[in-house]
Amino acid sequence: MRFLLDAEQAEFGRTLGRMLAAADTPAAVRAWGAGDSGPGRAAWRRLAGAGVFGLAVPEKHEGAGLLPIELVVSFVELGRHAVPGPLAETVAAAVLLDRLGDADGLADTWLPAIAAGDAMVSYADLSRGPYALDAATADVTLLVDGDTLRASGGNGPVQPSVDPVRRLTRCAAGAVLASGPAVRAAAAQAADTARLLTAAQALGVGRRLLDDTVAYVKQRTQFGVAIGSFQAVKHRLADVLLALELAEPLVYGAAVELAGASQAGVAGSADATGVGIAMAKVAAGEAAYTAARAALQLHGALGYTDELDLSLWIRKARALRGAWGTPAECRARILPGPASAGAQIFHE
Amino acid sequence: MRFLLDAEQAEFGRTLGRMLAAADTPAAVRAWGAGDSGPGRAAWRRLAGAGVFGLAVPEKHEGAGLLPIELVVSFVELGRHAVPGPLAETVAAAVLLDRLGDADGLADTWLPAIAAGDAMVSYADLSRGPYALDAATADVTLLVDGDTLRASGGNGPVQPSVDPVRRLTRCAAGAVLASGPAVRAAAAQAADTARLLTAAQALGVGRRLLDDTVAYVKQRTQFGVAIGSFQAVKHRLADVLLALELAEPLVYGAAVELAGASQAGVAGSADATGVGIAMAKVAAGEAAYTAARAALQLHGALGYTDELDLSLWIRKARALRGAWGTPAECRARILPGPASAGAQIFHE
Amino acid sequence: MDLELGPEDEEFRQETRTWLASHVPAEPLPSLETAKGFAAHREWERELYGGRWSAVTWPEEYGGRGASLLRWLLFEEEYYAARAPGRVSQNGISLLAPTLFAHGTDEQVARVLPPMARGQTIWAQAWSEPGAGSDLAALRSSAVRTDGGWLLRGHKTWSSRAAFADRAFGLFRSHPGADRPHHGLTYLMFDLAAPGVTVRPIGRLDGKPAFAELRLDDVFVPDADVIGEPGQGWQVAMSTAGNERGLTLRSPGRFTAAAGRLAALWRATADPADTALRDRVADALIGARAYQLSAYAGVARLTEGGTPGAGASLTKVFWSELDIALHETALDLLGPRGELADAAPEAPDHGSWADGWVFALAGPVYAGTNEIQRDIIAERLLGLPKGRR
Amino acid sequence: MDLELGPEDEEFRQETRTWLASHVPAEPLPSLETAKGFAAHREWERELYGGRWSAVTWPEEYGGRGASLLRWLLFEEEYYAARAPGRVSQNGISLLAPTLFAHGTDEQVARVLPPMARGQTIWAQAWSEPGAGSDLAALRSSAVRTDGGWLLRGHKTWSSRAAFADRAFGLFRSHPGADRPHHGLTYLMFDLAAPGVTVRPIGRLDGKPAFAELRLDDVFVPDADVIGEPGQGWQVAMSTAGNERGLTLRSPGRFTAAAGRLAALWRATADPADTALRDRVADALIGARAYQLSAYAGVARLTEGGTPGAGASLTKVFWSELDIALHETALDLLGPRGELADAAPEAPDHGSWADGWVFALAGPVYAGTNEIQRDIIAERLLGLPKGRR
């Protein structure tokens, strides 16, 4: 056992981070929220060039194979740099299409395009809520409703999220693309993947909020000293670090489990993998929101302004906490009920 | 409206406090826990002399009438001084017997004795749990089981509580003293009264823990300064004060409501009164436990020792939090369920 | 000790309720942090004034009813329970007016208060500066003596309501040589349309211009608009700060109304088995009731000659954290629709939960951060030694 | 990056499990904080030693197995999952032994470790003094030079296990004129039965004598029992303190086992509709799993040459607060029986939840209070400026 990123994986994350730091993602986020997806699209293509979307696509469809650990590494950076767009949704759609197989030509059509960064896919599981993310901007919107997969038949008005870069839309039901129990099973795997990647994004968001807040409290002075020297400030930030440091291994642990389950193609381990992902989502989602609350409070009024880029991450932390599984839903996945055996997580 | 203690009520509390401060209640507590109820009995008689138990007994039975506000004033002091014995239980029994009326001579027998301090009554509502408090020490133990009131038919072995002064016992069912729906109704009122007085006791316990901890952190030095000058210590104690200050009006508010309901004899307001009492119990119980955790932490290892009298209050805070209504039970009383109308607490 | 309203107080409550029932707009007004909403709220202030409800505690001659503090609490309970609009005149009525009653001249009181009561003059506060937030003694904007008045220079920020308001009040350094940093300040009122004032609106977390930055470039203020003695501004302001943190900034009525609405939302939408959410809703009810009862007790103490003192710090910490918890609970109750911003067409309850959540998030920051308040609680109420923090 | 055990590690785990399954007493031993329980636990240490399980990471020559840190984690997981007894030798094995391996002479290692491994010598720690808790640099108990050794004088307190243990180790002021308060200390081992030692047991919250006060009146310690250089005790101790806060004090295995038992309790007793309790049980599972995975990562880093550093402070805060939350949840799950002390005949699960709750309450205090740990996290991991605290 070696539960640490390989040198290559770690370097991949650093490379992405440097690339995104140079890409002025805050400007892309603000443009996206205002309805101009151009700069966001440009970032998206650079990410595809770096191989990010190929990590969700099997080799026979011109991807690198489904590589959950590398996806998590990427999504932590996507969160850290607040990249806009239906990121987890596009990967989830790739998982869904791959699992459904090529019968209808869907996978042949879309998977290579996803890997190449040419297809931005909005994807919603209507059992989870009525809204699709960025459907008005995406190249295609896929909707799962029970055991039916459809294309969107048209987008309603944009319903802005508390994170204004997340442009939610209700979609009309369009053409049926596939149906049957395989759709339901594939959608469950897609949702688990989206949940894990949302957790990873949240982790990156939390890290960024902590870094920026630490930098701020070192230089902001009140009463003649840096506010970072006040014990109340120190302890609050220590608690944020603690939450992030303990969420991180859960996120990577779930990625390792998902990688194992994907390689083995084992359906039997899906339950345990789903539990691990649910744990990661609770911990990362709450850690990011804790970081956001601390960032807001310790920046004072400055942290409450839309003008400061910090707000991009504060708002995102709230939205990601609920996306693809609220804390309550995830806890229910961990302990489905005393009557059910559920997964025993530890020896009982 | 004048939601403040009258001068007389406030003075009554101060007088009791002075009396108990002089009575070395910690020694009585330790003796009681070791099975020697002598010093506790002596304190009990002094309390009766000061009129405390008469506050639970109607005038026709040689009491002062049921006076919930004055009872709450007393029980805050009983908590502050950690007085041992089945205090809330004796008052609850008085309420029960009074409500049942004199048909069987029970009220005639026991109420004057309770008022005079000659009867220490253990009382358990078996729907709430199997144990009676201090049954082995009490002069009589009353047990309600549904709509039947019985005397104890014998005590099992003492089951020490986490608060060792609370000597719990399982009792055998003895002679039936009364039965029928009136028993159930009277028991509900008795339980509400016991819950309110337990909240009042918890409030007193919390106040004492805060006072003692504030005094300690002012004189204990580490790193060359009083530890009370550290911001982490200050903020923790500020939070304790906050919890207590906001619990207090809930406790007195519920007493005022209970006094109104008692005087009016209105059954219709029982629901609203019960909700107010449940709110008081949650807030006071949690505030006292918060105070206990802070006291323990800020006293360091000293706070963790049985030797320091502080432990008497730390342990009591935990036990009172659950007694006569856990936080979960009380919250369920406040919001019984969406289907039920429940009591509307504020305009909805 | 009782909780019974006397017949006259009960009558006052009924009169309030009746008036509100027939006057509160059926549809909520647009957000008061927008130009359109600001105008609509100003109009509403005029309507309140018409019923003599805009400042019930003021003497009748200034547009009030001479209501007791208890009646003010009752008014606030009824007001928010009726879902009446937010108060765009809040800064003036709860911060500036008490200062004027305490320190203003007769002329100032007579000139400033009636248009404030009518919603004709809306006031903004101008306390903070980029380098002076929690540490108000570090203020640097200056008031320089000139013929018949003062010239203001400098840079104020986080000025609530200033994006659309008419006038502002704040502290300026008038005697730079004073011996201590919080000496030598002067409390002034000035016109936001005066020559030399540049107002730049600042968006809050959801983008609405809830506050503004003020650049002041030799803005003339006549002596008549100095409150109290020049150089004594700190002492004058402290009485306002006390009010700000106390009851009048966020009355219990706001929270009893919000908790009631939360309970209704829970009854309407929650899974009855979800005790985790039930417990949080119950805690919001408990918190609101505790604050309400605590205010009744506080009013009784004040009526008998007590002072709010550092107790106002307790209150401020309490309601600001209650407000966040209450709104977070609502968003969690709403499920997927809880993510919608108040501007979303499908936002539940006209977006009031989303808007309330954003509003609540600022609570622990403004009017003295909760960190400072906890220091005050520990030092003044518990007597702990002052540390370096 | 993986979570797969290699075949040899898996074999080690299986061997551990098999041995424990046939050796762990069917009935829990009496509490190790009582005289009877202490003796029973000492006996159990001897049995562990018989299987070479008492100190698996030590070299074979001292009774260990030369196990890797990963195997130690696996051993701990199996050990607590099997509900094996608490470790009465913990102080010696996790605090003193690492210090000896780092700073002891060959003679000391050879003399001290084998009887420690056998449970023959049980060690107590003697750090704190009445005036020196968090502030260890304020130690005043002295070691005065004498022929062939040192004479200890002073007063130690909160000495864990000292009520029944054989020997103790601690810091003493040997060079009172040193330039800084944490200079001039010496790290010594001494016999609790030596002339001049008075042991007064102190009851913890539930009355059990979990620690003791030591009065030292010219207690002779030979030079052979000084660890490291005289006067360098602080540096020697800091390596031990690092260990204390790190993994070895409270391994993840304790918490994965406790969380598993909590989940079982919930499945057996909880109302399925009670999501409030479910969420708390789920959070205990999440916390235990997070600590487990974090330890796997930490072990991989250490194996590749990293150091625990201030990360040990994060760990200490985390598990100590997890432990309390986990046990509070259990007590709440148990309803009325949750109030029973572990000594009550009807206490559920042999009183282990009540005992565990009392034990957990001390967690945020010992081994460096959590307040101090949070200061360390902020200053060393986040680089925030040192304040006066």
Q: What CATH number is attached to the domain comprising D88?
A: 1.10.540.10
Same domain, C267 and C280: yes
Residues with pLDDT less than 50, chain A: 266-268
Contact D1 A69 (CB under 8 A): yes
Same domain, C50 and C157: no
Per mean pLDDT, which range of A90-104, A240-254, B120-134, C68-82 is the poorest? Answer: A90-104
* Full DSSP string of A14-32: HHHHHHHHTTTHHHHHHHH
Give CA–CA dist C17/C26, Å, rounded: 15
For residue D341, give the nearest of B129, B164, B307 by CB distance.
B164
The distance of C266 to chain B (nearest Cα, Å) reads 7
CATH number of the domain at C184, please.
2.40.110.10
Same domain, C186 and C261: no
Give CA–CA dist B74/B71, Å, rounded: 5
D4, D76, D244, D371: the active-site residue: D244
* Distance from the first to the final alpha carbon of chain D: 40
The distance of A70 to chain C (nearest Cα, Å) reads 29
- Is D134 a domain residue? yes
Contact D341 B232 (CB under 8 A): no
Q: Which residue of A has its CA nearest to C206?
A: A306
For chain C, list the strands marked E by DSSP: 123-126, 142-146, 149-160, 167-173, 185-191, 197-202, 211-222, 226-227
**A334 CB near a chain D CB, below 8 Å?**
yes
Contact D1 A256 (CB under 8 A): yes
Same domain, D152 and D104: no
Q: Are C161 and C122 in contact (CB under 8 A)?
A: yes
Q: What is the mean pLDDT of chain C?
A: 93
Residue D382 vs residues A236, A283, B195, B312, D241: alpha-carbon distances, Å: 12, 21, 47, 40, 21
Contact A1 D387 (CB under 8 A): no
For the CA atoms of C358, C361, C365, C369, what is the dihedral angle to 10 degrees? 160
Q: Which residue of D has its CA nearest to A73?
A: D1
The distance of B130 to chain C (nearest Cα, Å) reads 25
Give CA–CA dist A88/A110, Å, rounded: 16
The distance of B198 to chain C (nearest Cα, Å) reads 17
Q: Are B42 and B110 in contact (CB under 8 A)?
A: no
CB atoms within 10 A of CB A91: 28
* Residue D289 pLDDT exceeds 90: yes
Contact B1 C3 (CB under 8 A): yes
Q: Which residue of A has its CA nearest to C348?
A: A159
Same domain, C21 and C49: yes
Domains in chain C: how many in total? 3
C33, C45, C78, C244: the active-site residue: C244
- Rounded mean pLDDT, C191-220: 96
In one-letter notation, the amino acid at residue B204 is G
Contacts of A62 (CB under 8 A, 6+ apart): A54, A111, A112, A115, A116
- Is D1 a domain residue? no
Give CA–CA dist C208/C218, Å, rounded: 29
The distance of B276 to chain D (nearest Cα, Å) reads 22
* Residue D129 pLDDT exceeds 80: yes
Give CA–CA dist D144/D123, Å, rounded: 23
pLDDT of residue C387: 77
Q: List the subunits that have 3+ CB pairs under 8 angstroms with D.
A: A, B, C
The CATH class that applies to domain A184-342 reads: mainly alpha
- Is C82 a domain residue? yes
Give CA–CA dist C114/C109, Å, rounded: 8
HSE toward the beta carbon, residue A272, CA cutoff 13 A = 16
* Residue D241 pLDDT exceeds 80: no
- pLDDT tens string B86-119: 999 999 999 999 999 866 688 999 999 999 999 9
Per mean pLDDT, which range of A159-168, A249-258, D261-270, D326-335 is the poorest? Answer: D261-270
Bridge-based pairing state of the strands A121-125 and A140-145:
parallel
SS (H, E, C) chain B: CCCCCCHHHHHHHHHHHHHHHCCCHHHHHHHHHCCCCHHHHHHHHHHHHCCCHHHHCCHHHCCCCCCHHHHHHHHHHHHHCCCCCCHHHHHHHHHHHHHHCCCCCHHHHHHHHHHHCCCCEEEEECCCCCEEECCCCCCEEEEEECCEEEEEEEEEEEEEECCCCCEEEEEEEEEEEEECHHHHHHHHHHHHHHHHHHHHHHHHHHHHHHHHHHHHHHHCEECCEEHHHCHHHHHHHHHHHHHHHHHHHHHHHHHHHHHHHHHHCCCCCHHHHHHHHHHHHHHHHHHHHHHHHHHHHHHHHHHHECCCCHHHHHHHHHHHHHCCCCHHHHHHHHCCCCCCCCCCCCCC
Contact C377 B348 (CB under 8 A): no
Phi-psi region of A41 (alpha: psi -120 to 50; beta: other; left: phi over 0): alpha
- pLDDT tens string B171-181: 999 999 999 99
- Is C388 a domain residue? no
**A contact test, residue of D24, D286, D314 with most A CBs within 10 A:** D286
**B224 CB near a chain C CB, below 8 Å?**
no
**A231 CB near a chain B CB, below 8 Å?**
yes
The distance of D164 to chain A (nearest Cα, Å) reads 33
Enter the tokens of residue B302.
């000293």
pLDDT of residue C121: 98
If you ran DSSP here, which 8-state letter would residue D340 be given? B
This complex has an ipTM of 0.96
**A contact test, residue of C156, C205, C279 with most A CBs within 10 A:** C205
**C229 part of the active site:** no
For residue B256, give the nearest of C2, C9, C257 by CB distance.
C2
Contact B160 D339 (CB under 8 A): no
Same domain, C127 and C187: yes
| CA-closest candidate to residue B81, choices B200, B250, B180, B247 | B200
In one-letter notation, the amino acid at residue C77 is E
Three-state secondary-structure class, residue A85: coil
For residue C388, give the nearest of D273, D279, D388 by CB distance.
D388
Q: Which residues of D touch C386 (CB under 8 A)?
A: none
Residue of B40 and D311 predicted with greater confidence: B40
Q: Are D338 and B329 in contact (CB under 8 A)?
A: no
pLDDT of residue C248: 76
- Is D365 a domain residue? yes
**B30 CB near a chain D CB, below 8 Å?**
no
Using the 3D structure, point to which of D78, D99, D117 is the last residue of a domain.
Answer: D117
Same domain, D266 and D291: yes
Same domain, C78 and C112: yes
- Is C19 a domain residue? yes
Domain extent for C78: 7-117
Chain-centre distance for alpha carbon A119: 18
- pLDDT tens string B179-219: 999 999 999 999 999 999 999 999 999 999 999 999 999 99
Q: Which residue of A has its CA nearest to D253?
A: A346
Strand partners, B169: B132, B158
Q: Which residues of D touch A224 (CB under 8 A)?
A: none
Contacts of B169 (CB under 8 A, 6+ apart): B122, B131, B132, B134, B135, B136, B155, B156, B157, B158, B159
- Rounded mean pLDDT, D319-337: 96
Same domain, C370 and C253: yes
Q: Which residues of C touch A307 (CB under 8 A)?
A: 202-203
**A235 CB near a chain B CB, below 8 Å?**
yes
Q: Are A245 and A237 in contact (CB under 8 A)?
A: no
Phi-psi region of B154 (alpha: psi -120 to 50; beta: other; left: phi over 0): left
| CA-closest candidate to residue C197, choices C270, C124, C256 | C124
Q: Which residues of A touch D384 (CB under 8 A)?
A: 214, 217-218, 228-229, 233-234, 237
- pLDDT tens string B298-334: 999 999 999 999 999 999 999 999 999 999 999 999 9
Q: What is the mean pLDDT of chain B?
A: 94
Same domain, D291 and D356: yes
**A297 CB near a chain B CB, below 8 Å?**
no
Chain C (250-279) residues lying within 8 Å, Cβ to Cβ, of chain D: 272-279
Percentage of the residues of chain C whose pLDDT score is greater than 90:
85
The distance of B150 to chain D (nearest Cα, Å) reads 21
A-B Cβ pairs (cutoff 8 Å, strict): 8
The distance of A159 to chain B (nearest Cα, Å) reads 28
If you ran DSSP here, which 8-state letter would residue C166 be given? S
For residue A161, give the nearest of C276, C339, C389 by CB distance.
C339
Contact D332 B303 (CB under 8 A): no
In chain B, domain spans? 184-342
pLDDT-based confidence at B268, cuts 50/70/90?
very low
Q: Is the dihedral of CA B261, B266, B271, B274 positive or negative?
A: positive
Contact A237 D378 (CB under 8 A): yes
Q: Are B214 and B237 in contact (CB under 8 A)?
A: yes
Helices (H), strands (E): how many in chain D?
A: 12, 8
- pLDDT tens string C136-161: 889 999 999 999 999 999 999 999 99
Using the 3D structure, point to which of C236, C252, C268 is the last residue of a domain.
Answer: C236
- pLDDT tens string A92-107: 999 999 999 866 688 9
pLDDT of residue A268: 46
Same domain, D369 and D251: yes
- pLDDT tens string C47-57: 999 999 999 99
**A141 CB near a chain C CB, below 8 Å?**
no
SS (H, E, C) C111-153: HHHHHHHCCCCCEEEECCECCECCCHHHCCCEEEEECCEEEEE
For residue C275, give the nearest of D273, D388, D389 by CB distance.
D273
If you ran DSSP here, which 8-state letter would residue C222 be given? E
Contact B162 D206 (CB under 8 A): yes
Contacts of A36 (CB under 8 A, 6+ apart): none
CATH number of the domain at C245, please.
1.20.140.10
**B231 CB near a chain D CB, below 8 Å?**
yes
Give CA–CA dist A272/A259, Å, rounded: 13
Contact D290 A246 (CB under 8 A): yes
Using the 3D structure, point to which of D67, D88, D117 is the last residue of a domain.
Answer: D117
Same domain, D246 and D221: no
Q: Are D378 and A234 in contact (CB under 8 A)?
A: yes
For helices C311-333 and C352-361, the axis angle rounded to 10 degrees is: 140
